[in-house]
Structure 1
Amino acid sequence: MREIVSTFLSNNGFAVAVASDGRDGLAQLRLDPDIRLIVSDINMPNMDGLTMAQKIRTEMGERDVRIVMLTTEDNSAIRARGREVGVTGWIVKPFRGEAVLGPFRRFCGMA
């Protein structure tokens, strides 16, 4: 899924960095101040997506970055937890790239 999403976004004009898990994603975000949009799954090894989102908001609260979960998880309790930790958007798999291009471009100032 990571390859599908990254290839789709790259082919549509986005500069894409790929992380292996939440820990790697957080490290990349700390190093690159230009990252404005994160697309993450909840279920990842080492650090899950919700923990990563919480760390982003607590450690880099002033930073303008959107966090979108792309996941199979779709129950109200998990979505509520996502909102609590600062998740901006929620996409339930399967990924339909064309449907997110407009919102993603607006998030990144490309529209």
Structure 2
Amino acid sequence: MRTCLIVDDSSVVRKVARRILEDLDYSVDEAEDGQEAIDKCRQQMPDTILLDWNMPIMSGLEFLKLLRAYVGGEKPRVIYCTVENDIGAIALALKAGADDYMMKPFDRAILEAKFDLAENAAA
């Protein structure tokens, strides 16, 4: 079964994304900040990571840089999720190793489309 780690400080975002991804047959785990996420990745690397930009303790960008430097951290497909409509922030995320991005708020169709792309890229 495909795995996804949802990294977001909003419990509502995590709950909505979890429901959609479980419907798409993903095994889902959650982290509410980048530090918790890196700890979980060290235990078991997911196939895909849905990553928030703005979080306490460790931002999404800091997490992404650590992940990509970690042995095995090049493997997960990372979909960066942000409310920022800042092209510069998106460019930073892509340069740091994000595979794709999407804007919040998202709906089922947007999330499904991003994860269909992730699944096809992994195949």
TM-score by length of 2: 0.78
- Unmatched segments (≥5 aa) in structure 2: 1-12
1:50 to 61, 83, 93: 61
Q: Aligned letter for 2:82?
A: T
Contact preservation (8 Å) 2:50, 2:80: yes
What SS does the corresponding residue of 1:4 show, helix, strand or coil?
helix
Is residue 94 of structure 2 the alignment partner of residue 65 of structure 1? no
Offset, 1:10: 1.2
Q: How does 1:1-111 map to 2 (within 5 A)?
A: 1-33=13-45, 35-60=46-71, 63-108=74-119
CA displacement, residues 10-29 of structure 1 (integer Å, 9 cap, x when unaligned): 12211000111111111111
Q: Identify, as 1 or 2, the structure richer in strand.
A: 2
* Count of matched residue positions in the alignment of Structure 1 and Structure 2: 110
Counterpart code for 2:16: I
TM-score (norm 1): 0.86
Write the deviation string for residues 71-96 of structure 1: whole angstroms up to 9, x where unpaired.
10121110111112101111101112
Percent pairwise identity: 25
Pair 46,62 (structure 1): closer, same or farther in 2 beyond 3 Å: closer
Change (3 A) 1:26 1:98: same
| Separation in 2, partners of 1:54, 1:32 | 18
SS of 1:39's equivalent?
A: strand
Structure 1 gap ranges (5+): none
CA RMSD of aligned residues (A): 2.0
Over 3 Å counting, the alpha-carbon distance change for 1:91 and 1:106 in structure 2 is closer
Q: Secondary structure, in 3 states, of the residue corresponding to 1:26?
A: helix
